[in-house]
Amino acid sequence: MPERERTENSPERSRRRFPGISSRAYEHPADRTALVALRKIDGFDILLRKLSGFIDERKIRLSLLADGVKVGDQQFTRLQAMLQDAVDVLDLGFLPEMYVVQDPQPFAYTIGMDRPTIVLSTGLYELMDEEEMRWVIGHETGHVLSGHAVYRTMLFWLTNLATKLTWMPVGKWGIEMFINALLEWYRKAELSCDRAGLLVEQDLDAAMRALMKLAGGSHLAEMNPVAFLEQAREHEGGGGFRESVLKLISLQNRTHPYTSIRALELTRWVEAGDYQRVMGGDYPRRADDPQASVREEAKAAAGQYKENFERTTDPLLSKVRGFADEVAGVGSRIGETMYRKWGPGRNAEGSGAQSEDGED
């Protein structure tokens, strides 16, 4: 994204801000349910601190300092301005660190629970124009506001545990069920932050362009947003039973939904009127997060899945409606299981608590 591509209304453009906004304003119902459930667990902060020991954040940061470029007032200043803008729009309250790393593959991610850090690849930086990049940075800032680093930590913890239980098929199978459910939860977190990116960018066209570039590269002149959304609908509902099974298999181990599906889901959020409600100032506040109801959020998540199932013509998905309730409650179950193992009063080996799901 060279300086010559700077648009005149870039970070200086007046954008609506959302004082005190809760991440619940943009989170997908399944993602929101899990986070609300986890926040309700007594001592969850202690649990996270223990889990964070599995990932050496200091080592990661040292690696970025040594082999990346730290965004700031003297390096990648336009990115710094866009990050500050995203922080102001979502009223985050602090400025995460950001690094650019050399990699031709376009990607971005957010790591760190104690010190959130956003990482962008040069491939992504060179692919996006300024407004598209603003959507990307808004997406990553959404991860910070939602506290999604917990997903990466949980996945690491559960995957590590599953590896240790390879000798015990039943225990490993039980953990893998949690991992698969957590990956579905993670994919919904990505849909959440696509919405956060739109709240920051405030231009659906820019978000669509960014997603189309992630799918088809820089050749926007050869792509059409209407056709792009139509192919997502075709993937969502077309084919027979065999194609349905193949689609489920292809999602295995994926942390992100497919790109065209992300574009379709984002437009549906706008069409449903939720985006305009937030833009109009009608959104939940962080001050009210402690009073959020897990039961109500789970009901909303189940309703969302039910709506998706009723809308799809996929012959397999129409037969697995019960998965809605499974995913809607996964946050509560995983959080409680982890708390029994790692919460206050448990030693490093988790003694004193026998897991119902075969972890111990």
Condensed to tens digits (0 to 9), the pLDDT of residues 335-347 reads 444 444 444 444 4
Does the pLDDT at position 333 exceed 60? no
Q: Which residues of 294-320 are buried (b: 16+ CB within 10 A; e: fewer)?
A: beebbebbbebbeebbeebebebbeee
Cα distances (angstroms) measured from residue 196 to each of 55, 271, 321: 26, 16, 28
More confident residue, 8 or 66: 66
Report the range out of 9-23, 29-43, 187-201 with the highest average pLDDT.
187-201
pLDDT at 31: 74
* 194, two tokens: 């696509």
Report the alpha-carbon distance of residue 81 to residue 72 in Å, rounded: 9
Domains of the chain, residue spans: 41-342
Q: Which long-range contacts (CB under 8 A, 24 or more apart) does 339-344 make?
A: 339/41, 339/42, 339/43, 339/44, 339/47, 342/47, 342/50, 342/51, 343/41, 343/42, 343/43, 343/46, 343/47, 344/43, 344/46
pLDDT category of residue 112 using cuts at 50, 70 and 90: confident
- DSSP tag of 285: B
pLDDT at 89 over 90: yes
Tokens 């209304």 found at: 9
Query: How does DSSP classify residue 52?
Result: G
pLDDT band at 148 (very low <50, low <70, confident <90, very high): confident
Residue in 63, 94, 35, 123 with CA at minimum distance from that of residue 300: 35
